[in-house]
Amino acid sequence: MKKNINKLFKGCMAFVSLAMLTSCADSFLKQDPLSFYEPKTTYATEAGLQAALAMCDLHYKTMLMDGNGNVLPIASVYFMSDIGLYAKTDAGGGIMDDFANKITPTSGMASGGDSNAMLRFWDEAWNGIKYANTVLSYVDQVKGLDAATRDAYKGRAYFHRAYKYYHQALLFGDIPLVTKIIEVPKQNYKSTSKEAIFKMLIHDLEFAVAHVPAQKSMPYLGAVNQEACMQLLIKCYLINGDFKKAEDMATDLIQNHGLALMTAPFGTNVPSGNPDTWPVQRNVLWDLHRGENIAAAANKETILPILNYNDQNFTQYLTMRALGVHWSNGDIMDPSGISSPTYNWARNNASYNSQLDWLRVLGRGIGCFRTSYHYNKTIWKYDGEVDNQDLRHNHTMGNWVEMEDIKYNRPNSPFVGKNMQLYATEDYKDASGKVIIAKGTLLCKDTIRSWFPIPLYKMYILDVAAEENKGANQFNGATKGTYCSNGNMYLFRLAETYLLRAEARFYQGNATGAALDVNVIRSRANAKKMFTTVTIGDICDERARELYMEEWRQPELTRISWCLAKSGKADEWGNTYDINTWDKQSGTDLNGGSYWFKRLTRYSIFNHGTILSKVNLNYQVDKRNLFWPIPNSAITANIGAKLSQNYGYDGYDASTAKWATWEEAVADEDKTN
C-alpha cells in the first residue's frame, strides 16, 4: 500500500487569520501574537511549504467531519436537497426544517451543534483558503527549488484554494476574493461575481494540471495529483459553459491515467458488523466503500482519497450514529403494543442474542438526517418494477437494509425474532379476546426519524472503540480505541468522472452519448435497466445512487442548475431556464424557481404542508435558498466597503458594486482604503 503524507504540522503556525469576515473590527486580519514562528522565516524553507500543504491536505477532513455525533458537516449539504432532510424531531426542527423563514443573514447561521450547517462552512472555507494562500505567498521566496518543484507546489496550492472557492461560491454566490496573505488589516473588500471567480479557478487549475505530477509519478497517495486537478477543472469548465473542453478532459482522465472502475471484489474483506445477524455477501460495491480499500494500491478507481485512519490525524467520523435510522427507541412498538421492541443490547447483557445483534450491524443510529422517498423508493423503480438487483439497493447481498429486514430482539416481545412491521397486519388480542392492537395500526410514532432504509454499504464503519468494549451499546462509526477505526473516504473517484462526461455530452445535445456513460456506472452496479437516452434528471438520479454522502449534494445541484441555464437544455419536465434569472427568484410557491428548487419540491416533501411527526414540522425552502445568505457578521466587519448580499435576503441591493473580473479583485487586494 502506498504511504500517505497527511502529517499534521505540529506547533503553532503563523498564519494570518482569514476568519476575517467574521472578526470584530479591531482584530480584523490580525496575525496571531502567540505565534512561535515568523512567517517570512518559516515559509522561506521547503519544510515550511510542506507543513503548509499538510495543513491543506488535513483541511479536507476539517470541512467534512468534525467529530460531531449529531450532524455531520457533510450531511449539512444534504438538508436542502432532493435526497434528504433534517430529521431530529426532538429538536422541533430547530432551524433545519423551515429554511424559507428561519435562514436569514442574522439568524439561523449558528456555528456548532445541530446548527453547524452554514456559518461553519463559511468560516472553514476561509481557513482552507488561508492555508493555500500561505504556500502561494511564500513559494517564490524559497531558495534552491528547481522550476518543476516550485510549480508543483503552486499547482497543489491552486487546487486546494480552488476546491474551497468552488464550494464557497456554489453555497454563497458572490463572495470576496482573497488570493494572498495580507500583511496589514484590510476591511474594504468588495464581493467578486461568482462568474469571475470560476474564470480564475479555470486559470489556476489549468496551471495545476500542467505542473502537478500524475499519481503514477508520486511515491505517496493522499497528496494532490494531476488527476484530482483535472476532475475539479472538468467541473469548472461545465460551469463556464466550456462543455466540449469538459468532455475532452473527462475522456483523457478516463482513458489515459491508469484509472479504472472496480468491477470485482478486491482488497481487504471487511465483513458485516455481525454476520450472525446480517451477513453481507462480498461484492465489489461493499469492498469499494470500505475505508481499508479506499486508499489501497489495488483500488484503481480512487482519484484522491481523504485519509483518516492513523492516531496522529484521526478525526471521529460517526456515520452510523448521525445518518442511521433511529431504530432503537420508544417511538417504535411491536404488533402487540410493546414499546422499544428492538434494542441496542450490549454483548455482556443477559438479554443479548448474537442472532439479533442489530447494534453492531447498523450502529446506534439516532436519525439526525434521513433520506427522502425519492432516494429510498422512486429512483430504484423503472416501468413499475423495483430494481433490487442493483448492488446499491440490494438487501439480499446485504448492502441495503429495509426496516422490514430488521427483527425484533426484546425477549419479552411475542414477536421476538420476527421481522419489523410498520403497520399491524392483523388484530392482536389479549387472553380474553380483547383487541389490543387493531389491524392496520401504525406501529411507529415518528416515521420521519425512525422509519427509513439504510444504505449500509455506504455507512458501515467498524467502530474500533466499541468493539473493544463488551459493555458498549453505542456503535457509532469511526472512533478511536486502542487503535483507530478506518474512516477513509473519497474526495474524488472515477465513477463521478463518467457522470460529469455524461453531463457535458447532454449539454451539447448528445443525450445518447450521455446515456452510454450513465450505463457504464449502472452496469458495474448490476442494475437491470440500461438507458438509450437520458434527461438531466436521469443523470442527477444516477449521481444520487452512486455518490450518496460523497458529493456535496446542494452545491452540485446548484452547479447543474447553472449549467442547465447556460446550455438552454430542458429538464426532465420540459422546463428551460434563463441565465439572467435562474438565481434571482424568491418565494415558496411551486411556480418558477431554479432546477434545484424544482427537484426539492417535486422529489422531496418541501413546500407541501406541515408534516405530522412527534411535532409539526414545516419543511419549506424559498427559491432564494439556492444560495445561502452572506453572514451579517461578515458584512458588518467589512467596514470600508459593502459586501453584496444574495438575492432575496435582507440587505440585498442590486446596485452594490462588485468586481466583474478576478484580475480587478486581485489588483485591489493591497489597497486598504
Residue 478 has a pLDDT of 95
39-to-52, 134, 139, 160, 465 alpha-carbon distances in Å:
11, 9, 12, 20, 39
Which has the closest alpha carbon to 424: 406, 434, 436? 436
Q: What is the pLDDT of residues 474-488, one digit of tens each?
A: 999 999 999 999 999
Rg of the chain over all Cα atoms, to the nearest angstrom: 25
Give CA torsion, residues 364, 366, 370, 376, to 10 deg: 40
Q: Is 537 in contact with 571 (CB distance < 8 Å)?
A: yes
Query: For residue 295, what is its C-alpha cell?
Result: 486508499
* Residues 6+ away with beta carbon under 8 Å from 667: none
Q: Is 320 in contact with 476 (CB distance < 8 Å)?
A: yes
Q: Is 616 in contact with 89 (CB distance < 8 Å)?
A: no
CA-angle at 317, arms to 315 and 320, nearest 5°: 160
Q: Which amino acid is at 345?
A: W
127: left (phi over 0), alpha (psi -120 to 50) or beta: alpha
C-alpha count within 13 angstroms, C-beta hemisphere, residue 474? 8
Residue-wise DSSP of 364-406:
----SEEE-HHHHTGGGEETTEE---SGGG-TTTTS-B-GGGS
* Residues 6+ away with beta carbon under 8 Å from 211: 148, 151, 152, 154, 155
Query: For residue 413, what is its C-alpha cell?
Result: 416481545
The model carries a pTM of 0.93
Count of CB atoms situated within 10 Å of the CB of 396: 10
Which has the closest alpha carbon to 70: 316, 367, 457? 367
Residue 487 has a pLDDT of 95
The C-alpha atoms of residue 512 and residue 501 are separated, in whole angstroms, by 12
The C-alpha atoms of residue 340 and residue 327 are separated, in whole angstroms, by 9
Which has the closest alpha carbon to 325: 263, 274, 376? 376
What is the SS3 assignment for 307-321?
A: CCCCCCCCCCECHHH
The C-alpha atoms of residue 128 and residue 264 are separated, in whole angstroms, by 37
The C-alpha atoms of residue 96 and residue 116 are separated, in whole angstroms, by 10
Q: How far apart are the first and last CA of the chain?
A: 53
How far from chain centre, in Å, is Cα 171?
Answer: 12
Residue-wise DSSP of 518-557:
HHHHHHHTT-S---SS--HHHHHHHHHHHHTTTS-HHHHH
Query: b vs e for 536-558, b when ≥16 Cβ sit within 10 Å of the residue's Cβ?
Result: bbbbbbbbbbbbbbbbbbbbbbb
Q: Is 272 in contact with 287 (CB distance < 8 Å)?
A: no
The C-alpha atoms of residue 409 and residue 415 are separated, in whole angstroms, by 8
Count of CB atoms situated within 10 Å of the CB of 147: 8
The helix or strand, by DSSP H or E, that contains position 305, with its residue range, turns out to be strand 302-306
Count of CB atoms situated within 10 Å of the CB of 295: 25
10 Å CB burial of residue 330 (0-12, 13-18, 19+) is: exposed
Count of CB atoms situated within 10 Å of the CB of 180: 13
Q: Is 527 in contact with 387 (CB distance < 8 Å)?
A: yes
Q: What is the pLDDT of residues 81-110, one digit of tens each?
A: 999 998 888 876 566 788 898 888 987 555
Q: Which amino acid is at 655?
A: S
Which has the closest alpha carbon to 8: 295, 283, 222, 239? 222
Which residue numbers in the chain have pLDDT < 50?
1-37, 111-112
The helix or strand, by DSSP H or E, that contains position 39, with its residue range, turns out to be helix 39-42
